[in-house]
Amino acid sequence: MTADLSALNGSAKPESEEQVEKKPQHVEEEEEDHEEEGEEEVHEGAGANAKKKKKKKKPKKKKVGLKQTEPPTIGITKLFPDGVYPEGELQEYKDDNAWRTTSEEKRYDERMAMEDAETTYADVRRGAEVHRQVRQYARKMIRPGMTTTEIADLIENGTRALVEGDGIEAGVGFPTGLSLNNCAAHYTPNAGDTTVLQNGDIMKVDIGVHVKGRIVDSAFTLSWNPDYEKLLEAVQAATNTGIREAGIDVRLGELAGYIQETMESYEVEIGGKTYPVKPIENLSGHSIKRYQIHGGGKSICLVKNDDQTKMEEGEYFAIETFGSTGRGRVVESGEVSHYAKAADAPHVPLRLTSAKSLLKTINKNFGTIPFCRRYLDRAGESKYLLALNHLVAQGVVHDYPPLCDARGAMTAQFEHTILLRPTRKEVVSRGEDY
């Protein structure tokens, strides 16, 4: 999920039944082992000439662990009952920080972090594994002709099932972004939205998962038009550059320069006309804190600047890049769907009884985790727009309108969450898909 502008100062049906494997099993057992495991002697009669009869032991069936269904429905804790979840991609620090990989002191710091309930990596890795499994299924199933509501339900229902939660303890990390074409971020369908994905669309799919407030934020872009391949390639390469160059003590302004250089090295030919790929200058990646998707106050812009702020050991960052064939700048446009309670929400008297009631629902179900109108519907709220707008006006809740480049422009996004561990960098959200 992208940082807002101020930071810069669906269960869907597949096209055909053949696309879905019909065999998923919750528990599979290995084939019987037909090799003899030994023989047991049975003596009949007595004396030296006693007749011996051999009896075979019955082969034993060996049980194996659970396997994920399709669509994904089995909770991740059931697939990893020992509580040990896969690490993300590991990258060693460069230059002046290369020593960290073999430092005994830093290895000790890392072991302590694993045991500390406040900094343990287990929660973020659990969320990351949920993210990987849900998005891999989504990438396979999303097709033109589906509504954005169907796509959002597919992703969010899978997330809730696998993370085994739908609230403060664990759940969706923020509303699923499904921004189309010139809209770069912060669009998710509200109730009644009938938008249908078209063959010529570019869709940014931004998915969030959280476990105990540890938010995993990762995004990718889908297109069915080969004309846009270079746009997607440029933005993905820029994200990879940001991940590679990020690290402890790296200055954010310099990191932005590396991202900009990579993205601007690409151009796109559409309809016989060549367009340079521009980084969207007023969007950024961001640091992440517990229960705060834009926590920590650090932004990774996409254009080189003089920000001397450094990345620090133990921090989480969303390395997130956006590219455009348009002007490379977004403005707020369209109906709001994304909201979040302010982490520093003021204690103000609310004159509307409905606003007080709605705030209780928000505190109970989301806290400071971002939400959307569909989530309020799911929580049983109705006719809440007046109350919601009052909370926004009082500064208790922030709204995040869709962010759009010029009409006719095409935009793309790629993103991963990284953890700056004491010994090395872990790209927690990375998987085989991208």
- Note the pLDDT of residue 37: 43
**Same domain for 356 and 302:** no
Q: What are 299's two structure tokens?
A: 């932004």
Per-residue pLDDT reduced to its tens digit, 91-112: 999 999 999 989 998 988 888 7
Domain membership flag for residue 54: no
Q: How far apart are the C-alpha atoms of 221 and 183, rounded to whole Å?
A: 12
Please state the rounded mean pLDDT for residues 374-381: 98
Angle between helix 252-263 and helix 229-245 axes, rounded to 10 deg: 150
**Same domain for 372 and 302:** no
**Same domain for 270 and 208:** yes
Catalytic residue among 294, 338, 398, 416: 294
pLDDT at 116 over 80: no
CA distances from 311 to 1, 225, 237, 245, 248 (A): 19, 38, 21, 11, 5
Quick check: is 320 catalytic? yes
Quick check: is 116 catalytic? no
Write the single-letter amino acid at 124: V
Domain membership flag for residue 19: no
CA distances from 424 to 95, 102, 248, 316, 432 (A): 13, 10, 9, 13, 20
Q: How far apart are the C-alpha atoms of 77 and 130, rounded to whole Å?
A: 10
Please state the rounded mean pLDDT for residues 342-356: 95
Quick check: is 294 catalytic? yes
The residue range of the domain holding 171 is: 93-336+401-427
**Same domain for 248 and 99:** yes
Domain membership flag for residue 41: no
- Note the pLDDT of residue 20: 38
**Same domain for 359 and 262:** no
Radius of gyration of the chain from Cα atoms?
Answer: 26
Write the single-letter amino acid at 256: A
pTM (two decimals): 0.85
Per-residue pLDDT reduced to its tens digit, 226-278: 999 999 999 999 999 999 999 999 999 999 999 999 999 999 999 899 999 99
For the domain that residue 343 is a member of, what is the CATH number? 1.10.10.10
Sign (positive or negative) of CA dihedral 284, 294, 142, 65: positive
Catalytic residue among 4, 217, 315, 381: 217
Instruction: Count structural domains, the chain.
Output: 2
pLDDT at 143 over 70: yes
Catalytic residue among 150, 281, 320, 405: 320
**Same domain for 384 and 332:** no
Catalytic residue among 156, 206, 381, 426: 206
Sign (positive or negative) of CA dihedral 339, 296, 323, 148: negative
Q: How far apart are the C-alpha atoms of 225 and 275, rounded to whole Å?
A: 16
Quick check: is 286 catalytic? yes
Q: How far apart are the C-alpha atoms of 137 and 131, rounded to whole Å?
A: 10
The answer to whether 287 and 296 are in contact (CB under 8 A) is: yes
pLDDT at 317 over 60: yes
- Note the pLDDT of residue 163: 98
Q: What are 139's two structure tokens?
A: 């990438």
Q: What are 225's two structure tokens?
A: 């038009």
The answer to whether 176 and 187 are in contact (CB under 8 A) is: no
Cis ω for the linkage preceding 71 (within 30 of 0): yes
Angle between helix 122-141 and helix 148-163 axes, rounded to 10 deg: 150
Burial code (b: 16+ CB inside 10 Å, e: under 16) for 147-172 equals: bbbbbbbbbbbbbbbbbbbbebebbb
**Same domain for 298 and 357:** no
Cβ neighbours for 45, distance < 8 A, ≥ 6 positions apart: 51
Q: What are 115's two structure tokens?
A: 């045991």
- Note the pLDDT of residue 79: 97
**Same domain for 253 and 278:** yes
Domain membership flag for residue 284: yes
Domain membership flag for residue 65: no
**Same domain for 386 and 254:** no
SS3 for 275? Answer: strand
Mean pLDDT of the chain: 89
Which H or E run contains 76?
Answer: helix 76-79
**Same domain for 136 and 237:** yes
Q: What are 181's two structure tokens?
A: 């074409």
The answer to whether 218 and 419 are in contact (CB under 8 A) is: no
For the domain that residue 134 is a member of, what is the CATH number? 3.90.230.10
Q: What are 373's two structure tokens?
A: 């109108």
Please state the rounded mean pLDDT for residues 86-93: 95
Per-residue pLDDT reduced to its tens digit, 24-69: 444 343 334 444 444 444 454 545 454 555 556 666 655 567 899 9
- Note the pLDDT of residue 296: 83
**Same domain for 348 and 329:** no
Which H or E run contains 385?
Answer: helix 385-393
Beta bridge partners of 52: 43
Q: How far apart are the C-alpha atoms of 21 and 69, rounded to whole Å?
A: 9
Domain membership flag for residue 47: no
Catalytic residue among 129, 150, 315, 415: 415
Domain membership flag for residue 82: no
Domain membership flag for residue 30: no
**Same domain for 170 and 126:** yes
Which H or E run contains 159?
Answer: helix 148-163
